[in-house]
A and B are shown apart, each in its own frame.
Chain A
Amino acid sequence: MIDVDVHLQRKTFCLNASFTAGAGITALFGPSGSGKSTLLALIAGLVRPTRGRIAVDGRTLVDTERKVWVPKHKRRIGIVFQDAQLFPHMTVGQNLNFGRWFAPGGKRIVSQSSVVDVLGISHLTDRRPPSLSGGERQRVALARALLSGPEILLLDEPLASLDAGRREEILPLIERMRDEFRIPMLYVTHDASEVNKLASQAVVLENGQIVWKGRPGSLHSRPELLPDAKPLFHKS
């Protein structure tokens, strides 16, 4: 359960978001520049909000009024970036161990072998990130985030830098992660088909404002939200 109510003021951009996300996958959906990724950065603790609060399972991570600020390394929020951000000087195995190493003992909810199995990366352990394909990198990044024992997982357009074939390969894996590891996920995308396939809840953003919240199935009854959100294949 994640509770977000934040306001961020930048020179040319203003973000206002208030929503609650429960179990399963919540899609943050909207065109490039709508503030989806910034919202994830706020939750992960990479950016400070101008004001507002964020809480996960009742644990307050930020509260500007009560001056609460939990630094990113203590939030236990996993994040998978669009371009994986694996550590290039470590092997895949060392990348996986990196998160596990810092995960507090009792909080290792998922076992390494099950993660490696589900994501099909056992044969990559000794390889180095620069030698991996885009799809492989993304799978390793998913595994690395899972192994750090996060309470929620943030996925920032994990499929956007992959071609259609690779996307088809990763999408079912994310579904399996959702079903087997039962970690709530926030999934940022600008692709309506991903929203329909994965999410149990959708939040639609435009220009930093939430314009719609609800079940993804009923998104089709609001076609005016969709044309803007055609798949765009560049970084948002």
Chain B
Amino acid sequence: MSLRIACLATAFCLPVAMAFAYLLARYQFPGKALVDAVLHLPLVLPPVVTGYVLLLAFGKRGPIGSFLFDTFGINLSFRWTGAALACAVMGFPLMLRAIRLSFESVDQRLEAAAGTLGANGVWAFFLVTLPLALPGVLAGVVLCFAKALGEFGATITFVSNIPGETRTISAAIYSYTQVPGGDEAAIRLMLVSTAIALAAMVVSEALNRRMQRRVAVFES
């Protein structure tokens, strides 16, 4: 369940994070600091607050939620798709940050060179910027995925803790600790989630180092 939620959350996050990362890394515009702050808000806001905001906005009677339900028949609240949305929102800043840094580390003069050789902005992005930033982008994906796997506060507030529908690993651990004799199962899940988080950090660090090497080699 957790895996499915985390995969959907990450997949949903990636294009949005790339677009915003590119915007923030390459363009100056009025209100940039504000946009930056709002996008990073889920990182510092209490997760319960984020979850509650989602519930108000995307709940069946919320403005966005009722629109989605009436028009497309999509209902997010108390469904696993809603859990994915909550995870996506929580993981987004981590992904955005990693991708943005990787875009910023790509020399803009390379993009200029691609332009003078006849590549328009889209081609230059996919042939030059993205391949060079790829390790950083992957690092962002890994971080977002790990965060999405472990998300608790926003998820439980938004979609509750329904076994088989919205119960993530964290929610499951919490439930086990609340019942007598649940310790063994809780510890098992705890080890699993620790392993996943550890692996994610190692992978993302390795990708980051690779990223720096790529860029450094070129500057020499």
Contacts and interface: CB of A to CB of B under 8 A. Distances in A.
A15 interface: no
A130 B218 contact: yes
B38 interface: no
Interface stretch (B74-82, B115-123, B156-164): B115-123
A76 B118 CA distance: 7
Contacts of A77: 116
Contacts of A46: 112, 115-116
B132 A72 contact: no
The winner among B114, B117, B124, B214 for most chain A CB atoms within 10 A is B117
A45 B119 CA distance: 13
B119 A85 contact: no
Contacts of B218: 88, 129-130
A72 B116 contact: yes
Chain B residues touching A, range: 20 to 34
B11 interface: no
B109 interface: yes
B116 to A, nearest CB: 5
A78 B114 contact: no
Nearest to B132: A89
The winner among A44, A71, A87 for most chain B CB atoms within 10 A is A87
B110 interface: yes
B192 interface: no
Contacts of A13: none
B113 interface: yes
A54 interface: no
Contacts of B121: 73
A102 B123 contact: yes
Nearest to B107: A85
Given A72-B112, A79-B113, A99 B217 contact: no
A99 B214 contact: no
Interface string B197-220: 000000000000000001001101
Interface string A71-96: 11111111101000101110000000
B120 A71 contact: yes
Contacts of A148: 116-118
A162 B129 CA distance: 27
A198 to B, nearest CB: 21
B68 interface: no
Given A71-B120, A73-B120, A81-B109, A87 B115 contact: no
B110 A85 contact: yes
Interface in A173-203: none
A73 B119 contact: yes
Given A72-B112, A102-B123, A89 B117 contact: no
Interface string B89-115: 000000000000000000101101111
A44 B118 CA distance: 11
A102 B120 CA distance: 9
Contact of A79 (B116, B127, B214, B220): B116
Contacts of A103: 118
A99 B118 contact: yes
A69 interface: no
A91 B214 CA distance: 14
B118 A89 contact: no
The winner among A75, A81, A102, A103 for most chain B CB atoms within 10 A is A102
A45 B115 contact: yes
A161 to B, nearest CB: 12
A102 B117 contact: yes
A36 interface: no
A7 interface: no
Interface in A105-153: 129-130, 144-145, 148
A75 B116 contact: yes
5 contacts: A72-B115, A73-B123, A78-B117, A87-B113, A87-B127
Given A78-B117, A87-B113, A88-B132, 13 more contacts: A46-B112, A46-B115, A71-B115, A75-B116, A78-B116, A79-B113, A81-B113, A85-B110, A98-B127, A101-B118, A102-B117, A102-B119, A102-B123
Interface of B: 107, 109-110, 112-121, 123-124, 127-128, 131-132, 214, 217-218, 220
